[in-house]
Structure 1
Amino acid sequence: MAQLTAAPPTTMRALVLEDYGHLSVAELPTPEAGPGEVLLRIHATGICGSDLHGYTGENGRRRPGQVMGHETVGTVVGLGPGARGGEAGLGDLVTVNPGLACGQCPACHAGRGHICRSRRVIGVDPDLTSAFADYLAVPASNVVPFTSGSSGASRVTHGALVEPLAVGYHAAVRGEVREGADVLVLGGGPIGQAAVLACRRLGAGRIRVSEPLESRRLLVAGLGAQVLDPAAGDVAEQVQAGGPAEVTLDAVGSSATIATALNATQPGGRCVLVGMAAPDVRLDAFAVSTQERTLVGAFCYSPAEFAATARWAGEVPDLLASLISLRVTPEEAPAAFSDLARGHDVAGKVLVVFDPVHA
């Protein structure tokens, strides 16, 4: 029998993708915590670039009728059978690792559940009601405690940043960013911003960021990065003029940015592809082979990296405050999605706030 802090309402608000380009606020049944699950009262959920591409139908990874959302923070308000004894208990503030791995395959046994072949993702799998809703039921093993560093309500929402921050951290780890490293980040959006902070966590030296939008250049400059404007000339040439990068993190993921990454990185250096702007890209093989550069992929994060990022994020509330550009209510979210799809200039993260009392 499930344990609850208080009986939740029988229905809840949720953002439903009615059709591509059409999001609505609907009333759905409140989920129940099943065996091994916890029920969360969602405080805030971030709009990911993949959510936006799902909204427009660009990426083919979302379908009409589903509830999206995977960058989230909430409070445990119910425990399903067998969910007791985990790290999080009733009343705890938590963030959610949205990857549901099988736990049995070689990748899972190696601590790399993020590349489990049977992996499902909350917010991507259309059969899962996800985090753009008042309540969310998830496996207890996927919630990670989040300490916001303050009782301030706005800092509670920082838990919704943990997921993209973990993506940036994993990319930097895949790039073997070390203390004093000279790093280039291509793209100053939320994942590029996360990559900058990850490089700072790992002790990188100079961090340069190429970003066409002035608002994002200002944001990443505030994070301690040197900014490059692609409009000022070829980015690889701008980088080479100041000395090539040891490691380049491509947070865009197009043929053009991969070419820039290779040409801006020193011979023998590493280029990490973490952005997914295009499913197919053209690659200059000679720029890899003749200069012995290493090109590696980065996708999501390991469970250990996610948990470590949650701990770190709770310790730097002032640093994370600038990453949030806009907070909207669920009722305002359809317009926010529409604005973002039309290219509205937002430097950082847009959060949908479901519980204004706590967030």
Structure 2
Amino acid sequence: MKALVYEGVEHVAYRDMPDAAPQDAEHLIRVEAVGICGSDMHAYLGHDARRPAPLILGHEAAGVIVGGPRDGDRVTINPLVHCGTCTACQSGRVNICPNRQIISMPPREGAFAQYIAMPDRNLVTVPDDVPLAKAALAEPLAVSWHTARLGLEALHPAMDRRALVIGGGAIGLAAALALKAMGVSDVTITEPNDARRTYVASICPFNLRAETTETFPLVIDAVGFAATRQAASALVEPGGVIAHVGLGDGGGGLDIRRMTLQEITFIGTYTYTVEDFRQTASAIFDGRLGALDWIEMRPLSEGADAFRQLRNGSVAVPKIILTPWE
């Protein structure tokens, strides 16, 4: 099969790889759409030791089951494979399962390929009227759905339901959409990149700013650099909540003294639960997350160019979706 393979720092190559081989209780899936994620970029830049070269990256995927009792079923893929038996899994928190695996990390190859094998429980059926390119957004949208849900659950009931999202990329935009779907009508996004801010403003009715000095009860950091954590620390109201989902760098930025003196809650959020993923998929299918027309389709064979353009900041669209069969 053809695949886009990470071969070293800032080097991915489109080449032949061994065919995906389903194990027991797994299905073979013909991948029809797969998104480029920020974590793929971290690996591409050599910033993620969990993804050593050579490796097929990609974990935001949808496709069609080939063979077996579900042959022909259109599915979106939950890439997080959990053990199902540990305390975390038994309590529904599969995202912190100590034995979890995710495609695009060893031992599981990713979905920048024509085929992938996945367990049945990781597949959600996609209605015939939903394009698979939109269904592939279930994974990044579920990350943000999980963050928005945890942030709102932690917010004191006496506080206003207003939110700031730092970052207008795919995760930030998805967080804003999730907040809207959860009933938060007042959502502001800050995004310093002029082209990206203009693009997001053209597709979504959010308050878009390059920066702000206004404070908010809930702040979602969808970037995760020291500078954005510093901004989140300054812009959250006393008694408010910071939900941190970005993985830009590893440390610095938080004003721990202010957070302590003003009882600000900080929540680190990682991926999603099975229920979060299914709720997100349902919200995509019934239109609660909007038109989801902020994607750009490209052939998988041109994936190397897409990575280079994302690296140099010349892509305004929040999400590039690769198609392995063009």
Q: Same fold (TM over 0.5)?
A: yes
Match of 1:251 among 208, 216, 222: 222
Match of 1:223 among 201, 204, 208: 204
Q: Structure 1: which amino acid aligns with 2:20? A: P
Report the Cα distance in structure 2 between the residues aligned to 1:104 and 1:321, rounded to whole angstroms.
36
Quote the residue 1:4 is aligned against: none
Match of 2:191 among 211, 215, 229: 211
Quote the residue 1:275 is aligned against: 246
Match of 2:27 among 38, 44, 65: 38
Identity of aligned residues (%): 35
Q: Structure 2: which amino acid aligns with 1:261? A: A
* Residue pair 2:94, 2:273 contacting (<8 A) in 1 also: yes
Match of 1:119 among 100, 115, 118: 100
- Helix, strand or coil for the counterpart of 1:227? strand
Aligned pairs for 1:33-182 (under 5 A) are 33-79=22-68, 89-123=70-104, 125-147=105-127, 149-150=129-130, 155-176=131-152, 181-182=161-162
Quote the residue 1:8 is aligned against: none
Report the Cα distance in structure 2 between the residues aligned to 1:341 and 1:220, rounded to whole angstroms.
19
More displaced stretch, 52-61 vs 204-213: 52-61
Report the Cα distance in structure 2 between the residues aligned to 1:291 and 1:117, rounded to whole angstroms.
33
Gaps of 5+ in 1: 1-11
Q: Structure 2: which amino acid aligns with 1:103? A: G
Give the length in aligned residue pairs: 321
Quote the residue 1:17 is aligned against: 6
Report the Cα distance in structure 2 between the residues aligned to 1:63 and 1:175, rounded to whole angstroms.
33
Match of 1:299 among 262, 267, 270: 270
* Residue pair 1:102, 1:116 contacting (<8 A) in 2 also: yes
Q: Structure 2: which amino acid aligns with 1:338? A: R
TM-superposed CA distance for 1:25, in Å, is 1.3
What do the CA deviations read for 1:336-359 (whole angstroms, capped 9, x no partner)?
112211222323100111135xxx
TM-superposed CA distance for 1:299, in Å, is 0.6
What do the CA deviations read for 1:297-342 (whole angstroms, capped 9, x no partner)?
1111000110111111122299243320x21112111111122112
With over 3 angstroms needed to count, the CA separation of the structure-2 counterparts of 1:215 and 1:318, relative to structure 1, is farther
With over 3 angstroms needed to count, the CA separation of the structure-2 counterparts of 1:19 and 1:175, relative to structure 1, is same
**Structure 1 consecutive aligned stretches of length 4 or more whose deviation exceeds 4 Å:** 177-180
- Helix, strand or coil for the counterpart of 1:331? helix
What do the CA deviations read for 1:92-136 (whole angstroms, capped 9, x no partner)?
11111111111111100011111101111111x233222000011
Q: Structure 2: which amino acid aligns with 1:41? A: R
Gaps of 5+ in 2: none
- Helix, strand or coil for the counterpart of 1:332? helix
Report the Cα distance in structure 2 between the residues aligned to 1:224 and 1:91, rounded to whole angstroms.
37
Report the Cα distance in structure 2 between the residues aligned to 1:181 and 1:219, rounded to whole angstroms.
26
With over 3 angstroms needed to count, the CA separation of the structure-2 counterparts of 1:75 and 1:94, relative to structure 1, is same
Larger gyration radius, structure 1 or structure 2: 1
What do the CA deviations read for 1:7-58 (whole angstroms, capped 9, x no partner)?
xxxxx10111122211111112222322100010000100001101111112
TM-superposed CA distance for 1:59, in Å, is 2.6
Report the Cα distance in structure 1 between the residues aligned to 2:286 and 2:196, rounded to whole angstroms.
24
- Helix, strand or coil for the counterpart of 2:152? coil
TM-superposed CA distance for 1:162, in Å, is 0.6
TM-superposed CA distance for 1:283, in Å, is 2.4
Match of 1:192 among 148, 151, 172: 172
Asked if 1:338 is matched to 2:308, the reply is: yes
More displaced stretch, 313-322 vs 180-189: 313-322
* Residue pair 1:148, 1:315 contacting (<8 A) in 2 also: no
RMSD between aligned alpha carbons?
Answer: 1.9
- Helix, strand or coil for the counterpart of 1:147? coil
Q: TM-score, normalised by structure 1?
A: 0.85
* Residue pair 1:158, 1:320 contacting (<8 A) in 2 also: no
What do the CA deviations read for 1:248-276 (whole angstroms, capped 9, x no partner)?
10001122211211221111111111111
Quote the residue 1:3 is aligned against: none
* Residue pair 2:163, 2:187 contacting (<8 A) in 1 also: yes
- Helix, strand or coil for the counterpart of 1:91? coil
Report the Cα distance in structure 2 between the residues aligned to 1:333 and 1:44, rounded to whole angstroms.
12
Q: TM-score, normalised by structure 2?
A: 0.93
* Residue pair 2:233, 2:254 contacting (<8 A) in 1 also: no
Q: Structure 2: which amino acid aligns with 1:44? A: A
